[in-house]
Amino acid sequence: MKKIAFLVALLAAGVAMGRAQESRQDISLSGFGLIEPFMASTTTTQVNSTPAYGALLSYRYMLSPSTALEANYGITYENSIGYYVNPNHYKILTRTQEISAAFVKSFVFRNWNPFVEAGPTAVIFLPIVNSGTTTLDSKQQTEMGGVFGAGFAYEISPSFDIRAEYRGLLVKVPNFGDTQLSSNRWYVISAPTIGVAYHF
């Protein structure tokens, strides 16, 4: 009887220790929109675009219960960036990629976990050469900048949570290697994001 009681106590302690160990990593898959603002330069160039939609894959490693490092890769399907250079109009169909890293600070309120983040990013603008692109001189362009954001995670189980976030990408307005399309301006691309994370 003492052996059985000892085994039950040992098993209960093992379960308690297992639950006490928190997940230190998670991976998430999200959908996002990419919204580039209208931008007028100090010269004659004006830039506007249509929204783009894509997917974002993120990995977080917890440094502590409330801080983490995050790595992201995102890609959009397609959008159109238009340039008005008086008196000409140019349109470039674009696929956009993001590679970024961030420091994440979280706050815990029961099942709600608000967080903020910031870090460096590289945004790759990939022109799509087809009938929707009106200038054939456009070239792939990579712009370095920063990413920042704020959002919340809602825990639906110990292993899964739903995340919603506003993310901003601060980069230089692309010119696709064509100097006549240069605006010499920076802008913030808005990227509202929602997805599901798995903790392990």
Query: Rounded to two decimals, what is the model's pTM?
Result: 0.85
pLDDT tens-digit profile of 79-91?
Answer: 999 999 988 999 9
pLDDT tens-digit profile of 96-141?
Answer: 999 999 999 999 888 999 999 999 999 999 999 888 888 878 999 9
CA 137 to chain centre: 29
pLDDT tens-digit profile of 155-166?
Answer: 999 999 999 999
Q: What are the phi and psi torsion angles at 18 (to 5°)?
A: -65, -40
Neighbouring residues of 190: CB distance < 8 A, sequence distance ≥ 6:
33, 34, 35, 37, 166, 167, 168
- What local confidence, expressed as pLDDT, does residue 22 receive? 62
* Res. 6: pLDDT tops 50: no
In the chain, where the domains are located: 23-199
Who has greater pLDDT, 179 or 4?
179
As assigned by CATH, the class of the 23-199 domain is mainly beta
What integer best gives the mean pLDDT of the chain?
89
- What local confidence, expressed as pLDDT, does residue 155 receive? 94
Least confident of 8-17, 47-56, 73-82, 180-189: 8-17
* Res. 7: pLDDT tops 90: no
* Res. 196: pLDDT tops 50: yes
Peptide bond into 87 cis (omega under 30): yes
